[in-house]
């Protein structure tokens, strides 16, 4: 009987030892498991759980950096101010009228002007100023036809053989009108600047931020704009219902 009691005691002590060891192991595992499954929501953290609060603060992702807007200066537009322009235009119109006025655009000029959405009176004024309407005109610099288009410009407008502009009035007018439309896309509806760019090149207009101070270009713009204004004025005066 005594042997059985001793054996039972030994078994009890062994069970208590195993239970203590298991409790120690579980006590070491519990914090790691808690770190992996901790609830960082507002409901999972109480004020008394300071350790959990520190743990959640450690795993909270850093706030994303806030993008800072950078102001970029817009490019300055080309100035269109032309001191004394109205006075010079009035003088040019008077000069055109003294020479007999400005002839009305013919049917071909009207058709091409409408095709490229260019005022036929402007196209007619440029023909008169560039070549006096001579379809075989060739300038000292090599400009060709009624619109005096340079060979390189003609090629850029799709004309493979620039010499075809000579004697071919429809082709020369269409090429010049196409180039005018190209310049209008760059300088807008400011007609003096477009006309100046046709004569001196768009780079010169950009450089001077207006009509270049070249004697030839200044005279050219004055003549074209004078003929243009006179032609529009004559057309307005001849329109039905115009004041007598």
Q: Which residues are catalytic?
A: 130
Task: Produce one character per residue of 183-205: b if its CB has 16 or more CB atoms within 10 Å, e if not.
Answer: bbeebeebbbbbbbbbbbbbebb
**DSSP summary character for residue 119:** -
Cα within 13 Å of Cα(136), Cβ side: 1
SS3 of residue 97 by DSSP = helix
Q: How far apart are CA 142 and CA 176, in angstroms?
A: 15
- Rounded CA-CA distance 67/62 in Å is 15
Instruction: Report d(CA 182, CA 194) in Å as an integer.
Output: 9
Closest residue by Cα to residue 146 from 159, 133, 155:
133
């Amino acid at each position: 009987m005594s042997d059985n009691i001793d054996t039972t005691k030994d078994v009890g002590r062994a069970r208590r030892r195993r239970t203590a060891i298991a409790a120690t192991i579980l006590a070491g595992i519990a914090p790691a498991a808690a770190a992996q499954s901790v609830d960082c929501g507002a409901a999972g953290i109480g004020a008394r759980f300071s350790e959990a609060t520190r743990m959640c603060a450690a795993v909270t992702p850093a706030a994303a950096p806030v993008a800072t807007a950078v102001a970029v200066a817009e490019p300055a537009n080309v100035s269109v101010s032309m001191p004394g322009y109205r006075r010079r235009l009035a003088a040019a119109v008077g000069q055109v009228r003294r020479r007999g006025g400005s002839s009305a655009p013919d049917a071909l000029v009207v058709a091409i002007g409408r095709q490229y959405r260019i005022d036929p009176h402007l196209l007619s004024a440029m023909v008169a100023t560039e070549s006096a309407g001579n379809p075989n005109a060739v300038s000292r610099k090599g400009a060709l036809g009624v619109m005096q288009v340079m060979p390189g410009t003609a090629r850029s407008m799709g004309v493979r053989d620039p010499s075809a502009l000579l004697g071919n009035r429809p082709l020369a007018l269409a090429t010049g009108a196409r180039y005018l439309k190209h310049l209008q896309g760059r300088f807008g509806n400011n007609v003096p600047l477009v006309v100046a760019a046709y004569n001196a090149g768009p780079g010169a207009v950009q450089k001077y931020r207006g009509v270049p101070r070249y004697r030839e270009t200044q005279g050219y713009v004055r003549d074209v704009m004078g003929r243009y204004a006179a032609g529009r004025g004559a057309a307005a005066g001849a329109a039905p219902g115009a004041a007598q």
